């Protein structure tokens, strides 16, 4: 599905607002038909990067290539890119139909393959109807946008962008204002639309689960820098640093020392691992997912600890287990009551060793 052609290339893009630098030397390419998610906490620069792609901001340095051509100075209305805005930004002086037809109405008949104004009108009607069907809003043509619910407004905003058949659709936290159930439905629908239409989607969110659900590629950002680029599974299973590990899913992050290849020491205990290439005695971050810690008998565990609290989470129990001066978060389908002394074991490939993050980041 994804073609190996680079549709958009972001080369050395930095952006400053006054004295604050929000993007540092970003390098990234986006392929045709790819669903790319820019993921990070608020203030990480993901929306700024999206706005640079849309043409609403200019990079301070660096360039953005679209099909190999520099599009840095091109205004938004000349780009074959459309945006779904965070707060929908519908035109409330127009009804649903005219909102969706807005972009098409600005075109010349020949741009829509029509010979006359009348032909164009019919073509626009055809396309708007098709879009309304795609977003499941048939029959809403004459409604005022003020009378729509948040979810409905979002659908109209998506239809309004997609009807122009852009090569790239930018989505700025489009589901942020919807309730959980609706959000999950829309995630699947958006993904299905993207695959059906074969359009490149660039999606901004701070919701890691949303990113994991929809993306082909996730770009994890923090502090205006790219932390990791990879597919959802790669990012979840092999986070490159403690920030990514902490931001994607839940993690225990503990200080350790790399004694030699495949041997790490933390919690005063030596563990076999599968990481190599660290300096001898290098201080490292050790990341272990809560579901990768197995609770065993006190006498056979690699670590021992006392269960401090238990929370029922539905599929599993989440226990906080104190061992030495660290509280481990452990998820298990079997419950140990608070106060129990337990043992814990971790298999080597579930121990992820990461270089310490530079202090300023």
Partner 1 sequence: MKRSWYATPYALWMLLFAVVPLVFVLWYAFTTPDGAFTLSNFAEFSKPRYAAVIIRSLKLAVYCTALCLLIGYPTAWFLAGRGLNRTQSLVVLILLPMWMNLLLRTYAMMTLLDDNGVINSALAALHLGQIKFIGTEGAVLMGLVYNYLPFMVLPIYTVLKKMDWSVIEAAEDLGANPLRVMSRVVLPMSVPGIVSGVTMVFMPAVTSFAISTLLSNGKLRLAGDLIDYIFNQSSNPNRWNIGSSFSLMMLVLILISIGFLRKVDPDNQGGGLW
- What residues form DSSP beta bridges with 15? 23
87, 121, 316, 355: which one binds partner 1 (CB under 8 A): 87
| The Cα angle at residue 280 between residues 241 and 253, in degrees rounded to 5 | 30
Size of residue set near partner 1 by CB under 8 A? 24
- Single residue of 86, 129, 332, 350 touching partner 1 by CB under 8 A: 86
Q: Is 85 in the site for partner 1 (CB under 8 A)?
A: yes
If the CB atoms of residues 83 and 215 are measured against partner 1, the closer one turns out to be: 83
- Contact flags string 47-76 toward partner 1, x per CB under 8 A: -------xxx------------------xx
- If one asks whether residue 82 binds partner 1 (CB under 8 A), the answer comes out as yes
First to last CA, the chain: 36
Q: Footprint of partner 1 on residues 89-118 (CB under 8 A)?
A: 89-93, 102-103, 106-107
| Cβ proximity to partner 1, 86 vs 336, nearer residue | 86
CA distance 222 to 220: 7
Closest contact distance (angstroms) between CB of 76 and partner 1 is 4
Nearer to partner 1, 50 or 307 (CB): 50
Cβ 7 to partner 1 shortest distance, Å = 18
Phi, psi of 222 (to 5 degrees): -155, 140
Burial class (CB in 10 A: 0-12, 13-18, 19+), 219: buried
- DSSP of 238-291, one letter per residue? S-SSHHHHHHSS--EEEEEEEEETTEEEETTEEEE-----PPTTEEEEEEE-GG
For residue 350, count CB atoms less than 10 angstroms from its CB and return exposed for 0-12, middle for 13-18, buried for 19 or more: middle
At 169, list the tokens: 């659709």
Q: Is the dihedral of CA 138, 207, 52, 240 positive or negative?
A: negative
Q: Is 41 in the site for partner 1 (CB under 8 A)?
A: no
Q: Give the footprint of partner 1 on residues 132-191 (CB under 8 A).
A: 160-161, 164
Cβ distance to partner 1 smaller for residue 91 or 349:
91
Residues that bind partner 1 (CB under 8 A): 54-56, 75-77, 81-83, 85-87, 89-93, 102-103, 106-107, 160-161, 164
């Amino acid at each position: 599905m994804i073609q190996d052609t680079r549709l958009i290339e972001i080369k050395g893009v930095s952006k400053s607002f006054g004295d604050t630098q929000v993007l540092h030397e970003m390098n990234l390419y986006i392929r045709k038909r790819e669903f790319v998610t820019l993921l990070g906490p608020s203030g990480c620069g993901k929306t700024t990067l999206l706005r640079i792609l849309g043409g609403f901001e200019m990079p301070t340095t660096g360039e953005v290539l679209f099909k190999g051509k520099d599009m840095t100075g091109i205004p938004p209305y000349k780009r074959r890119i459309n945006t779904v805005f965070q707060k929908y930004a519908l035109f409330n002086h127009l009804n649903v139909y005219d909102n969706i037809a807005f972009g098409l109405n600005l075109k010349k008949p020949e741009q829509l393959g029509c010979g006359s104004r009348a032909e164009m009108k019919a073509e626009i009607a055809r396309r708007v109807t098709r879009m309304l069907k795609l977003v499941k809003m048939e029959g809403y043509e004459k409604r005022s946008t003020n009378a729509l619910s948040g979810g409905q407004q979002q659908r109209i905003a998506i239809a309004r962008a997609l009807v122009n058949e852009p090569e790239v659709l930018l989505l700025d936290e489009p589901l942020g204002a919807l309730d959980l159930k609706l959000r999950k439905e829309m995630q699947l629908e958006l993904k299905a639309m993207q695959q059906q239409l074969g359009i490149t989607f660039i999606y901004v969110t701070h919701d890691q689960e949303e990113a994991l659900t929809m993306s082909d590629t996730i770009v994890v950002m923090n502090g205006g820098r790219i932390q990791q680029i990879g597919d959802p599974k790669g990012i979840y299973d092999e986070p490159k640093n403690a920030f990514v590990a902490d931001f994607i899913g839940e993690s225990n992050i503990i200080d350790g020392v790399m004694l030699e290849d495949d041997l790490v020491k933390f919690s005063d205990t030596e563990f076999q691992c599968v990481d190599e290439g660290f300096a001898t005695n290098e201080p490292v971050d050790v990341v272990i997912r809560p579901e990768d810690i197995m609770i065993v008998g006190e006498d056979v565990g690699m670590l021992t600890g006392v269960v401090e609290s238990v929370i029922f989470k539905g599929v599993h129990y989440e226990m906080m287990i104190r061992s030495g001066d660290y509280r481990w978060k452990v998820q298990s389908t079997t419950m140990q009551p608070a106060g129990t002394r337990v043992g814990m074991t971790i298999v080597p490939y579930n121990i992820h060793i990461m270089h310490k993050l530079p202090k300023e980041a």
